[in-house]
Amino acid sequence: MNRNEARSAVISAAKNAFTAKLFAGTSGNLSIRIPEENLVAITPTSVRYETMTAEDIVLIDLDGEIVEGRYKPSSEWQMHLEVFRRMKTVNAVVHTHSPYATAFAVVHRRIPQVLIEMIPFLGGDVPLAEYAPPGTLELGKSVVRALGNDRFGCLMANHGVLTIGETIDQAYLRAEYVEDAAKICAYAEGLGKPILIS
């Protein structure tokens, strides 16, 4: 994947996330690693998704230095880079503020394994990463700990959702599944006690 392909893939996924209400306002962010150049294409900070273009996507190196772009990278760039540094097979990170999943994060609850789809797509239940201030390296470290070696998405306490993938399409699909699982679990709890899949 070259720089232009990465920018196009990031803007496409970002627009889809905004339309699907996984993002709101300027919240949420996503990134793609460009392995051939040791660069990351990431959404800019404080730019509305309705007006964002591929040219607005920022390229940074693995130290966070801007290589190309007229804007600053997402305020969560340290979290994205920590995931890429620690998880070598990950080439895409999606961070959403999707409402149902974020509600679980706000009450500091994992999303239990209530759907069969959670096993292949998410690795099982959706764990909760301990709280760390947004925009910090500590948040990245907390996320990496929560994901461990067998989960593809986690909640961030009082914050939102993070999913990973070998491709942006895979990471995005996982973000959709996290929100779907949270919504169904919340509905099920209104009817009774959900039966978990062992």
**Residues annotated as part of the active site:** 76
Residue 117, token pair as written in the block = 């789809």
Kindly list the distances between the CA atom of residue 170 and the CA atoms of 5, 97, 163, 176, 177, in Å, as whole numbers in the listed order. Answer: 16, 18, 9, 10, 11
Closest CA to 96 of 126, 68, 67, 120: 126
β-sheet bridge partners, residue 114? none
Cα 195 from Cα 151, distance rounded (Å): 21
Closest CA to 156 of 105, 98, 92, 83: 105
CB-count burial class (<10 Å; 0-12, 13-18, 19+) for 136: middle
